[in-house]
Amino acid sequence: MLVLGVETSCDDTAAAVLRDEREVLSNVVASQLTHREYGGVVPELASRQHLKHMLPVMRAALERAAVKPANLDGIAATVGPGLLGSLLVGLSTASAYAMGLEKPFVGVHHIEGHIMANWLVEDMRFPCVVLVISGGHTQIVRMPRIGVFEELGATRDDAAGEAFDKIGKMLGIPYPAGPLFEKLARRGDRQGVPFSRARLKEGEFDFSFSGLKTAARLVLEKEGFAPRTNVQPLQAGRAPGERTLEELEALPQRAFDILASAQEAIVDMLAEKLVASVRATGVSDAYLAGGVAANGRLRERLGQGLLQVGAELRFPPPRLCTDNAAMIACAGAFRLRAGQTSGPETNAFPRGPLQSWASRA
C-alpha cells in the first residue's frame, strides 16, 4: 500500500510517501525561516508560506519516491490540532488532490502522527504508555492497541517544548530553542542551580512548567543574562534580544550551568510522571513522541528511570521526532487499512484530544 502524507500544522510544510506503514520512500520538509526575526511562529505568515511550498513539496515527495500519483492507494493529511490557517492549506490541498485522483482520503490527528513515528522504526508493543512531548503538547497516553488512546495526564500550562523555547528565548537562543539549548546545556553543570520540581497535589500524571519558567527568568535576570527589555530595534533576520551562535558560545560558564539545570528540571519532572504511569499501568513498554523526544539527555535519563521499574523505553530517531509527514502517512495508512476515510466535509480543528478510532477489545 502506497500512501502520500501531508503535514502543515505549524511552520513546516511536509509531504512523504510511505509503503506499507513503514518503508519511507520519501520524506520532504520545507522549514519556514520567515518567523525567526519574530521570535516565534506568526500564523498569518505561516499560512502564506504553506501555500507557496505545498505543491512543490508534494511533487518533490512523489518524485523522490519515484511513485506516480495514479499508483497511490490513499492520501492522508493532518486535520488538527494546530494553526487553523496552516492546517487548512494542507487539508484542502490533500483532499482536493485525492478527489481529483479518485483515491481515498483520511484526516489524521497530529499527535497520533507523532506517536506512530515509533512504528516507522519497528512494530510497537502493546499495551504501552507514550509520553508525547512537543512544542504544543505534553501528555501521557496509554495505548492498549493501535487506534486506541487513553489520556492519563497532561500539562496544566506550558508544553515541555514551550518550556525549552521560552527559557531559551530569555537567554537569546533563536526559536525554536530546543536543539541549541541542548547543545549549550552539555557544557553546564546540571546541579548548578537548584530549581525546584513542580509537585502537583491532584492529577497524578499531570505536568506544570510555568513555575520553572519564572524561576529561570528570575535567575537569568538577577545574574544579568536576560535582555531586560524587548524593545531593541529589529536587526535583519534577528529577533529582539536574540544572540548569535558566537555570542552564545562566548557566554560565561554560569549561563551554561543555568541551561543545564533547567533542562535537568524539565527532564526530572517528565521522568517522574512517566515512571509513575508505567508503574500504575503495569506495562513494560514506553515510548517517546514529539520534537522534545529528540533531546539526548532526556532519552538517557528516562531510559534509566524506566529500567529501574523493569520497563523499556523506545523513541524515533530525531528527524522523525520533529514534525514530518512520514508519521502522518503511517497513521493514515493504519486508518485507511481499517476502512476509515474522511469525506469532503472534513474540517480542520485548532484544538482537540486524541480520538480512538479502533475498538478497545
List residues near Zn ion by CB under 5 A: 134, 323
Residue 164 binds ligand KG4 (CB under 6 A): yes
Residue 295 binds ligand KG4 (CB under 6 A): yes
Residue 182 binds ligand KG4 (CB under 6 A): yes
Q: Which of 8, 95, 134, 340 binds ligand KG4 (CB under 6 A)?
A: 134
Collapsing DSSP to helix, strand or coil, 128 comes out as strand
The residue behind cell 512523489 is: 62
Nearest Cα neighbor of 76 from 17, 144, 150 is 17
CB-CB neighbours of 255 under 10 Å: 22
In the complex, minimum distance from the CB of residue 81 to ligand KG4, in angstroms, rounded to a whole number: 9
Residues 64-123 that bind ligand KG4 (CB under 6 A): 114
In the complex, minimum distance from the CB of residue 320 to ligand KG4, in angstroms, rounded to a whole number: 10
| CA 36 – CA 145 distance, rounded (Å) | 40
Determine the size of the site formed for ligand KG4 (CB under 6 A).
21
Residue 10 binds ligand KG4 (CB under 6 A): yes
Measured in degrees and rounded to the nearest 5, phi and psi for residue 17 equal: -115, 130
In the complex, minimum distance from the CB of residue 113 to ligand KG4, in angstroms, rounded to a whole number: 9
Q: Which three cell numbers stand for residue 339?
A: 476502512
Q: How far is CA 229 from the centre of its chain?
A: 30
In the complex, minimum distance from the CB of residue 247 to Zn ion, in angstroms, rounded to a whole number: 29
Which listed option, Zn ion, ligand KG4, none, makes contact with residue 105 (CB within 5 to 8 Å by class)?
Answer: none
| CA 57 – CA 15 distance, rounded (Å) | 6
Binding mask 215-254 for ligand KG4 (x = CB under 6 A): ----------------------------------------
| CA 118 – CA 143 distance, rounded (Å) | 13
Part of the chain binding ligand KG4 (CB under 6 A), chosen from 31-39, 178-186, 217-225, 306-314: 178-186
Which listed option, Zn ion, ligand KG4, none, makes contact with residue 322 (CB within 5 to 8 Å by class)?
Answer: ligand KG4
Backbone torsion region of residue 128, taken as left when φ is above 0, otherwise alpha when ψ lies between -120 and 50, otherwise beta:
beta
Q: Residue 70, CB half-sphere, CA atoms under 13 Å: how many?
A: 0
Which listed option, Zn ion, ligand KG4, none, makes contact with residue 158 (CB within 5 to 8 Å by class)?
Answer: none
Nearest Cα neighbor of 90 from 113, 67, 71 is 113
In the complex, minimum distance from the CB of residue 325 to ligand KG4, in angstroms, rounded to a whole number: 12
Q: Classify the C-alpha dihedral 87-88-93-95 as positive or negative.
A: positive
Residue 206 binds ligand KG4 (CB under 6 A): no
Q: Which of 177, 184, 260, 262 binds ligand KG4 (CB under 6 A)?
A: 177
Residue 161 binds ligand KG4 (CB under 6 A): yes
Do 79 and 107 form a contact (C-beta atoms < 8 A)?
yes
Which listed option, ligand KG4, Zn ion, none, makes contact with residue 91 (CB within 5 to 8 Å by class)?
Answer: none
Q: Which is nearer to Zn ion, 134 or 263 (CB)?
A: 134
Which listed option, Zn ion, ligand KG4, none, makes contact with residue 153 (CB within 5 to 8 Å by class)?
Answer: none
Collapsing DSSP to helix, strand or coil, 194 comes out as coil
Q: How many distinct helices (H) and strands (E) make up the chain?
A: 11, 10
Which listed option, Zn ion, ligand KG4, none, makes contact with residue 176 (CB within 5 to 8 Å by class)?
Answer: ligand KG4
In the complex, minimum distance from the CB of residue 6 to Zn ion, in angstroms, rounded to a whole number: 14
Q: With the CA atoms of 94, 99, 103 and 109 taken in that order, what torsion angle do they form, in degrees rounded to the nearest 10?
A: 40
Collapsing DSSP to helix, strand or coil, 334 comes out as helix
| CA 59 – CA 62 distance, rounded (Å) | 5
Residue 291 binds ligand KG4 (CB under 6 A): yes
Contact footprint for ligand KG4 (CB under 6 A): 10, 114, 134-136, 161, 164-165, 176-179, 181-182, 290-292, 294-295, 322-323
